[in-house]
Chain A
C-alpha cells in the first residue's frame, strides 16, 4: 500500500489534450476546401459550374417569373406587353381544365374526380399501419375497380353484367374500408369482427363463414339498388383527353403489364417447349420494334383482324398496343429477377414438397419481385413517358392537348409555355415514382444489406 502511495506522488506521463484540427479543415470552410477548391483545376471547374448555374437560373427566373404575364386573354396581349422575353402563363392557366380533363364537359368533370378519388381511397390502406390482407386489397383495387371507374367515366346505359360488376365494386370498396377500420381500431380482421359481432364465435368453424356471406349479400343488395338509381349521361371517348387519358392509358398499362409480364417470364423459363417458343417469340418480337410501330399496327390492323361488328374505339386500340408492348418489356424485367434467385431456393422448395405454383408464388416470386422493384418501377416510369406516343395516332393525351393550344386563333403559336408546363408535370410524376421506388428498395431490402 505504502508503495503505491509513494509511486502516486511521483510524476507520471500525463498526455496533453489533443489540439483541435486546423480550422480550415473542418466545418463549412473545410468542406468547401476539400470538395470545391482542392486543386486549381477543381477551383476552375467550381467557378465554371457556378457560372453555368447562374446563367441558366437567372435567365429562367427572368423569363418564367420576372417578365411573365399571368393574366391575358390572348397571346397577342402577352406579346404586346413583354414580347418573347417573358413567359405567357396566361396561355397555360386559360387551358388548364383542358390539360387535365380534355374536352370532357365541365358539369360532368366531378365524375373523373370522383373516380380517381375512389381509386386513391381504395389504395390508401396500403400505406396505413396495422392493416392486414394488403394483397387482397391491392388485387381488388386493380381487378374490380376498373368496372366502377370505367362506368363513371363513360356513363350511359349499363347492361346486367356491368350493373353486377359495379355493385360488386362498391361492395368490395365498402369491405376494404370496413376491414381497414376494423384492423386499425381493434387489431382484428373484418372477418373476425363480423363473426364476433354476430355471436358465431362459439359455433363450429365451418359455420362461421355464414355471417360474413350474409353481410356481403346485404351490402351487395343495397349497392345494387343504389346504383340502379344512378342516371349519368354517356360521354364519348372522343371527349376524353389531357392528363386524364394519360393516366387511364398508363394505369391500365401498369395493371395489365405486371401480371402479363410475370406469366410471360414464367413461360419463357418453362420446361415445355411449345409454351417457351410462343413466349420467346412474343417477347422478342415486341421488344425489338419501336412502340410507335405497335401503335400503328393496332390502329391499322385491329379493325382488319376483328369482325365488322366489333370495332373498338381508338383509345381501346391504343391501350391494346401499350399493354402488349409493356408486357413484353416487363417479362424481361421479371426474368432478370427470376434468374437472380439462386438454384438452392428452387431446390429447397421442391424438397419441402411444394408444387410448381406454390414454389413460384410462395418462395421464388416474392424474392424476385423484391429484387426487381427498382427495375419494375423504372418500367412503369418508362410506360408513363411512352404514353405520350399515343398522341402520334391522334389521341388527345396530355402532350397533344399541350400542342393543340397553339392552333387556337387566340393563342396562335404559343408552344414554349404549354410544353414547359407539361415537362414539369411529367417530371414531378416520374421523379416522385423513382424516389418512392428508392424508398421501397431501402425498406424492403433492409434484410439484404450486409454490414
Chain B
C-alpha cells in the first residue's frame, strides 16, 4: 500500500511541480496576455481596413505631398494656401514650439516669484500669494483661456483706438492683436552676432577656469561680472564700430489697421497669459516645497561657519532646493507643451488645430495624422525626460 501511495503522490507532484512552478506559470500568463493583445490588434486592424475600403480610402503618407487648400492665420515660417500638408505640419510644430517656449520662460519666472512670496515672513503677502495659487489652480485651464479670449481680449478697442502699452507709441494693443517693432538687421549685423557667440564661449571658458582655480588654490575670481562684461561689452563695441547696423520697423496706423512691425493675434495672447498664470501656481508650490525641504539645520550650520544670510541662500539653500525643484519643474514644462494644444479652443493655429483638426477634416487621413501628432509630442516628451534623467544623475545625492 505504502509503495502505491508513494507512486501516486509522486505522479501528482511531478504535475503539480509544473503547475506551481513560478517560471512555467509566468510564461503561461505572458503567452495569454501576448495572444490577447495580438488578437485585439488584429481585430482592430481588420476592422480598420474593412472600414477604409468601404469608404474608398487608402492608408499611407502620400497625402503629405498634396496641397492644403486653407490659409493659416499666424505662422512664423512662411506659409501660403497652396503649400503641402507636410509644410502645414511644420507650421503647426513651429507655432506650438514658439508658444510653449515663451510660456515656459514666463511661467518659470512668475512661478519662482510667487513661490518666494508664499514663503515671505510677511503674513499679508504670504496669504495673497497662497490665494492666488488656490484660486487659479482649482479652475480649469480651458475655462481660463476662454475667459481671457472672450471676456478680456474680445472687448479690446479697434485699431484706431489702440491701447498704447508703456506709452512709447511703439507697442500697440487692439482687437487685432499685439503689435511690436520688428528688428531689421543691416548689412554687417552678422558680425555682431558672431562676436556675441564667441564671447559667450570665452565667458564660459573663464568661468570653468575660475572654478578650477578656486578648487585648487582657494583664490576667488569675479567670474560672473567678468562674463557679464564680456558678453555685453564686446558685441556692443563691434555693433557700434560697424555703424549700428540694426533698425526697428515700428508698427504704424494706416487706414483701418497697423502696417509694419510684427504682431501676434489675440488668441495667442489669451493662451499665453492663461498658460503662464495657471502653470505658475504649480511652479510656485514646487519652489515652496523645495525650499522647505532643506532642513533648518543646514541654515544653522552655514551661519555657524560664518556665512552671511545672502551667501547661505546662494551657496547652501538654493543648490539643495534645486535638487528637489528641478525634476517636477521640468515635468511641468512638459505639461506646458502639452497644454499649449488647448490653443485650438480659441483658434490659435498650433499643431493640433492646423493638423489634427483642419488637415484631418480636409484629407480624412485620420490614422496617419493622429500618429504624426502623437509622434511629435512623444519626441518632445522623450527629449525632455532624457535631459531630466541626465540632470538627476548629475545632482543626485552622492552617498558614500
* Interface positions of A (Cβ within 8 A of B): 35-36, 38, 42, 45-46, 49-50, 52-53, 84, 271-275, 278, 285, 287-293, 296-297, 300-301, 303-308, 381, 385-386, 388-389, 391-392, 399, 402-403, 406, 415-416, 419-420, 422-423, 426-427, 430-431, 434
Contact = CB atoms under 8 A, between A and B. Distances in A.
Given A296-B356, A305-B48, 5 more contacts: A38-B121, A291-B338, A292-B341, A301-B367, A423-B143
Contacts of A50: 124
Contact of A290 (B29, B135, B338, B357): B338
Contacts of A434: 138
Contact of B352 (A36, A52, A53, A293): A293
Contacts of B215: none
Given A274-B34, A419-B150, A297 B122 contact: no
A449 B208 CA distance: 45
Contacts, number: 156
27 contacts: A273-B30, A274-B33, A274-B34, A278-B37, A285-B378, A288-B377, A288-B378, A289-B374, A290-B377, A293-B341, A296-B356, A296-B370, A301-B366, A304-B51, A304-B366, A304-B367, A305-B44, A307-B47, A308-B51, A308-B54, A386-B140, A406-B150, A419-B150, A426-B138, A426-B140, A427-B135, A427-B139
Interface string B346-367: 0000001000110010000011
B257 interface: no
A391 to B, nearest CB: 7
Contacts of B142: 388-389, 391-392, 399
A36 B123 contact: yes
B245 to A, nearest CB: 42
A288 B338 CA distance: 8
A238 B341 CA distance: 26
Given A36-B124, A293-B356, A431-B138, A304 B47 contact: yes
Interface residues of B, number: 56
Contacts of A46: 122, 124-125
Contacts of B352: 290, 292-293, 296
A272 B29 contact: yes
B272 to A, nearest CB: 17
A289 B374 CA distance: 6
B381 A288 contact: yes
B151 interface: yes
B374 A293 contact: yes
Closest 5 CB pairs of A and B: A288-B381, A430-B138, A415-B150, A35-B123, A290-B338
A87 to B, nearest CB: 11
Contact of B122 (A35, A274, A275, A416): A35
A392 B339 contact: no
Contacts of B34: 274
A6 B141 CA distance: 84
B294 interface: no
Interface of B: 26, 29-30, 33-34, 37, 44, 47-48, 50-52, 54, 120-125, 128, 134-135, 138-144, 146-147, 150-151, 154-155, 334, 338-339, 341-342, 344-345, 352, 356-357, 360, 366-367, 370, 373-374, 377-378, 380-382
A381 B380 CA distance: 26
B151 A49 contact: no
A426 B146 CA distance: 14
Nearest to A274: B30
A386 B377 CA distance: 18
B357 A296 contact: yes
Given A35-B122, A385-B140, A293 B370 contact: yes
Nearest to B339: A290
A184 B171 CA distance: 70
B182 to A, nearest CB: 31
A322 B357 CA distance: 19
A45 B135 CA distance: 21
Name, among B139, B141, B151, B377, the residue most crowded by chain A CB atoms within 10 Å (CB to CB).
Answer: B139
Name, among A273, A292, A300, the residue most crowded by chain B CB atoms within 10 Å (CB to CB).
Answer: A292
Contacts of B151: 415-416, 419
